[in-house]
């Protein structure tokens, strides 16, 4: 990893919101700690570090598209697509809705149409059981069965089964950090 990316990683580590308390996670699980990916990625410095590190992590897979479930992945998708242009390796984005659009075309996926053979990376803020990533993968595959999902790229993996869940779909997980890196 180039020196400035090592520095970005250390700066980002210090910007990830970590809370102790009594929390119910998106997976429905209870936890005494919480990584708030949204407050992290809605800070300009943390979002910039996240996008740069994700683009570096995704480079070997060469995705042409990045996307994920709204709301957790929205900021990351926007930052990665914008920065990818600046760095001369443009990728397009898309957002997967939690519910299909109730008017117009009734779409699940917003953004340019997915195409057969396209290499797609799914972005996540925090992975616990992998449920949100699985929903995004399923929606993408329903929309265009012939896309190639190159991986799920996350800010944090809580190490609570997400990697194993995604492996059942033949999709690898690539986190910037794991719970063990941060606690």
Name the E strands within 2-105: 17-24, 30-36, 65-69, 92-96
CATH of domain 3-182: 3.40.50.2020
Q: Omega into 64 within 30° of 0, i.e. cis?
A: no
Q: Look at residue 1 and tell me whether its pLDDT is greater than 70.
A: no
Boundaries of every domain in the chain = 3-182
Report how far residue 89's alpha carbon sits from residue 74's, in angstroms, rounded to the nearest whole number: 20
Look at residue 37 in the predicted model and tell me its pLDDT. 94
| Arithmetic mean of pLDDT, 134-145 | 95
* pLDDT beyond 70 at 2: no
The per-residue pLDDT of the chain, averaged, comes to 94
């Amino acid at each position: 990893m180039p020196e400035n990316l090592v520095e970005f990683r250390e700066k980002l580590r210090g910007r990830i919101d970590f809370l102790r308390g009594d929390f119910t996670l998106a997976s429905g699980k209870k936890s005494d700690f919480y990584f708030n990916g949204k407050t992290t990625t809605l800070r300009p410095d943390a979002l910039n570090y996240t996008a740069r590190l994700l683009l570096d992590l995704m480079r070997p897979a060469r995705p042409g598209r990045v996307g994920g479930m709204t709301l957790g992945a929205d900021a990351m998708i926007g930052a990665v697509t914008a920065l990818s242009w600046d760095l001369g390796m443009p990728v397009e984005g898309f957002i997967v809705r939690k519910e299909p659009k109730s008017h117009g075309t009734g779409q699940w996926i917003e953004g340019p149409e997915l195409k057969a053979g396209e290499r797609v990376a799914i972005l996540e803020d925090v992975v616990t059981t992998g449920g949100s990533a699985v929903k995004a993968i399923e929606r993408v595959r329903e929309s265009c069965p012939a896309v190639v999902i190159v991986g799920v790229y996350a800010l944090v993996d809580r190490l609570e089964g997400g990697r194993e869940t995604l492996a059942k779909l033949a999709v690898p997980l690539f986190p910037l950090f794991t719970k063990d890196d941060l606690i």
